[in-house]
Amino acid sequence: MSSTKPISLFPLSVAVAALVALSACGGSDDAATALQPDVTLAGTVTDLDEAAAASQPNWPAWSGGKQPVAGVGCANSEAYHAHTLVSIYRNGTRLAMPGSVGIGACTYELHTHDGSGVVHVETDVRKDFTLSQYFALWGQVMSASDVAGLPGPYRFYLVEDGKLSRYTGDPGAIVLSAHREIVILAGPKPPAVLPKYRWPAEL
Q: List pLDDT tens digits, range 99-139.
A: 999 999 999 999 999 999 999 999 999 999 999 999 999 99
Structural domain boundaries, residue 23: 9-34
Residues 104, 23 within the same domain: no
CA distance 57 to 195: 18
- Whether 69 is in a domain gets the answer yes
Q: Is 109 helix (H, G, I), strand (E, B) or coil?
A: coil
Residues 58, 157 within the same domain: yes
Q: What angle do CA 30, 32, 36 make, to 5 degrees?
A: 110
Q: Please report the sign of the dihedral spanned by the C-alpha atoms of residue 128, residue 133, residue 174, residue 189.
A: negative
Residues 99, 72 within the same domain: yes
pTM for the whole structure = 0.82
Q: Is 108 helix (H, G, I), strand (E, B) or coil?
A: strand
Q: What is the tens place of the pLDDT at every residue in 49-94?
A: 999 999 999 999 999 889 999 999 999 988 999 999 999 999 999 9
Residues 187, 106 within the same domain: yes
AA identity, residue 115: G
Whether the ω angle into residue 200 lies within 30 degrees of 0, i.e. cis, is no
- Whether 3 is in a domain gets the answer no
CA distance 62 to 111: 10
Backbone phi and psi for residue 198, each to the nearest 5 degrees, phi listed first: -100, 120
pLDDT at residue number 11: 45
Count of domains for the chain: 2
